[in-house]
Structure 1
Amino acid sequence: MPDKNGATIMQRYILWFSVMSGALVAGCSEASNSATEAAPSTTDDATSTGAPTTAGPTGESTETGAAPTSSGGEELGQCDPWLQDCPEGHKCMAFAPEGEGAFTGTKCTPVAANPGSLGDPCKVEDGWWSGVDDCDHGLACWDVDPADNSGQCVALCRGSEDDHGCPGSDDVCVFWVPGVAHVCLQGCDPLLQDCAEGQGCLPNWANGGQDFVCQAEYSAEEGQVFDPCEFTNACDPGLLCWGPGSALECEQDAIGCCLPFCDLKDPQCTGEGAVCTSFYEAAGSEPLPQFEDVGICVLPG
């Protein structure tokens, strides 16, 4: 719906992760054989190393694109997603030129005549990249199914880059492309997998996996433990797309492999030789107190 190991990940995965104006362009890094490599970042340096993840657009290019026009031909120009400084009847949305692998800018797009409210089903026009949907002002169509461009209206982050928030007390403001795309997703516990049906509780790679948010799950008939995967939410709830070298049962030439979360207080892993290892040790970051028991079943590093 960006990372390292010598390759830019944004070009590989399109329309699979929930996103501002459609399915988030997401990606995995080249497969890592070590679960101790650093997790991807969401900075303009889209070359961090790490296990396959859905980092979302990390600002590989955060420049605004060409000035859009309204349906009547009026030039509306670029806009500020924090200020929502578009003309009346329009909202400031992230977009990308068709064929791009990530959001590249913002533009004013018309608010639908009968717009959807928070939590309502929605549709995007043309594709995730268009920035045009039928959600109300301050909302964006998220968790988009690329088969029919349908999703759910969620809130855009409010405030400013330095002082931001969400209308829901349990929501997390996720910075997919700083300065371009910021959206509120429900926070969750990966050990409880306490998201709605059809969603998984997965790392918020936009801040290095410091917290977890509910994301649409697109595994279909696949996505079971040790199945190959190519993006974070291609595994069943309770599993995470990780480097295939972290489990003997994985296809070693795959992009990624579905591995289970585990509880460090009650470590249980089924893979041969697998050990319940701190998720944050594996991701190369420090845990928040409420997530210090979150682990992932991997081979010892």
Structure 2
Amino acid sequence: MRQQESSMSIQNTLGRWLALPLSICVVTAVGCGGKDDTMGSGDTSASDGTSNGTSDGSTSTSSTSGGVTSQGSDSATSTSSGTSGTSTSSSGGGFIDPPDGGVEGQCDPGLQDCPNPDEKCTGYVTMPGDCCVDANHCVPMMGMKQFGEPCTRIDGNDDCDKGLFCMTKTSGSTGEGICLEYCVVDDPSSCENGGSCLAFNDGALPLCEEECDPLLQDCQGSQGCYPAFDRFVCAVPNLDQGGGDGDPCYTIQSCQPGLGCVSADSLSDCQDTACCTPFCDLNEPDPCTSPEQCTAWFEMGMAPPGLEDVGACVVPQ
């Protein structure tokens, strides 16, 4: 009964934000308990924080994700004139609708349609200093690192093979990362290494992401399980410090694994636009500190199979 009441009260007053960024910091997982946690965070870090499920949706936009207002971001939501960077194919029925806005780009990273065979299509940041990829271009091959392998990203290029993207702290960051798989948004078969194709950053960054359970935190290696679109995906935490309960956050991955970035309107003591709050199990005793309560993350009847018991500590509205 609590699940239904909580879900409805939150839905009536909150919006839902979505986005995601990535980081490569290893953080201690924080969980609320409940479900069997034997799967835990895997020992292997073969999947990038955004790969195995990492989401590099560097989405810095707000969007709705469920009964709770969640903030996210690695995905720059800037729209600029130009052709859409989203990968699409002639076949219908995809995981995500193409973005409404156009994204600047010379090529399609999912299709790898650069005319020169010695070049690959990869994402880059059009405005120096921005956090996140917002366009795609053809660049010379730097290397042939494969899916899940460590990689190095420089401005506008990396040493992953064609069809892969080196995800670092955020999609626009340089340095060490992990090769993730690009995909064609309306072609589920394009995720050859598994996962769902999600179009981050207004379509400029279509990546295959592994789905996960935020209560189990069942991602590999140092990845955490974070909300993206209408599900949860694995991603590397995007934080150098903080990210604990009540700490400010600006992207979904700027919270420690086991916590979500939620709008300040939904929290009792958040001194910023949004703060981290723990996920919780609706079927277990409420672990939240009053006046916050364990409230359904998804609207009633909208949770993906197996995630009906996912909640977050927020103030009921």
Question: Given the two structures, how large is their TM-score scaled by the length of structure 1?
Answer: 0.70
Any residues of structure 2 matched to 1:227-242 within 5 Å, and which? 227-242=247-262
Which residue in the other structure is 1:133 paired with?
158
Secondary structure of the 1:276 match is strand
**One-letter amino acid of the structure 1 residue matched with residue 199 of structure 2:** F
| Structure 1: segments with no counterpart, 5+ residues | 30-37, 42-48, 66-76
**1:200 Cα deviation from its structure 2 partner:** 1.0
Structure 2 residue 223 is the aligned partner of structure 1 residue 182: no
Amino acid at match of 1:143: T
CA contact (8 A) 2:21 2:252 kept: no
User: Could you say if the C-alpha distance between residues 299 and 153 of structure 1 is closer, same or farther in structure 2, counting changes exceeding 3 Å?
Assistant: same
Equivalent runs, 1:87-102 vs 2, <5 Å: 87-99=116-128, 100=130, 102=132
User: Is contact 1:262-1:276 (8 Å) kept?
Assistant: yes
**For 1:274, which of 279, 292, 297 is the aligned residue?**
292
CA contact (8 A) 2:167 2:178 kept: yes
Specify which of 229, 240, 247 is matched with residue 220 of structure 1.
240
* Greater displacement, 242-251 / 85-94: 242-251
**Structure 1 CA distance for aligned equivalents of residues 22 and 282 of structure 2:** 34
Instruction: Report the counterpart of residue 176 of structure 2 in structure 1.
Output: 150
One-letter amino acid of the structure 1 residue matched with residue 162 of structure 2 = H
Distance apart, 1:133 and its partner CA = 0.5
| Aligned 8 A contact 1:139 1:155 in 2 | yes
Q: Which amino acid aligns with 2:111?
A: L
- Partner SS for 1:245: helix
Q: Take 1:245 and 1:194, find their aligned partners in 2: how far apart are those partners? A: 29
Tell me which residue corresponds to 1:109: 139
Corresponding residue number in structure 1 for 2:29: none
Number of equivalences: 249
Instruction: Please state how far the C-alpha of 1:236 moved relative to its aligned partner.
Output: 1.0
User: Relative to structure 2, which stretch is displaced further, 102-111 or 236-245?
Assistant: 102-111
Where do residues 1-301 of structure 1 align in structure 2 (5 Å cutoff)?
A: 25-27=58-60, 29=62, 39=64, 50-54=69-73, 56-58=75-77, 60-61=79-80, 63-64=82-83, 78-86=106-114, 87-99=116-128, 100=130, 102-112=132-142, 114-126=143-155, 130=156, 132-144=157-169, 149-157=175-183, 160-165=184-189, 166-169=191-194, 171-177=195-201, 179-204=203-228, 208=229, 210-251=230-271, 254-281=272-299, 286-301=302-317
CA shift at 1:232, angstroms?
1.2
What is the distance in 2 between the residues matched to 1:240 and 1:200? 10
Q: CA deviation at 1:185?
A: 2.1
CA contact (8 A) 1:141 1:151 kept: yes
What CA distance in whole angstroms lies between the structure 2 residues aligned with 1:15 and 1:149? 13
SS of the aligned residue for 2:123 comes to strand
CA separation in 2, counterparts of 1:148 and 1:55? Answer: 14
Three-state SS of the structure 2 residue aligned to 1:233 is: helix
User: Residue 298 of structure 2 aligns to a residue in which SS?
Assistant: helix
Instruction: Evaluate the alpha carbon distance shift between residue 148 and residue 201 of structure 1 in structure 2; reply closer, same or farther with a 3 A threshold.
Output: same
- CA offset digits 1:47-84 (Å, max 9, x no partner): xx95422262346336249xxxxxxxxxxx92233321
CA RMSD of aligned residues (A): 3.5
- Structure 1 stretches of 4+ with a deviation exceeding 6 A read 17-20
% identical equivalent positions: 33
Q: CA deviation at 1:141?
A: 0.2
Q: CA deviation at 1:226?
A: 1.5
CA distance in 1, matches of 2:208, 2:251: 21
Given that 1:16 and 1:24 are in contact with CA atoms closer than 8 Å, whether structure 2 keeps it comes out as no
2:119 is matched by which residue type in structure 1?
A: H
| CA distance 1:178–1:163, change in 2 (3 Å) | farther
Q: Counterpart of 1:32?
A: none
SS at structure 2 position matched to 1:150: strand
1:230 is matched by which residue type in structure 2?
Answer: Y
SS of the residue 2:313 aligns to: strand
SS in 2 for 1:92: strand
Give distance in 1, aligned partners of 2:201 and 2:21.
15
Deviation at 1:85, TM superposition (A): 1.4
Is the alpha carbon distance of 1:226 and 1:180 closer, same or farther for their aligned partners in structure 2, counting shifts above 3 Å? closer
Mean alpha-carbon deviation: is it higher for 232-241 or for 94-103?
A: 94-103
More strand by share: 1
Q: Distance in 1 between matches of 2:110 and 2:182?
A: 9
How far the C-alpha of 1:285 sits from its partner, in A, is: 9.0
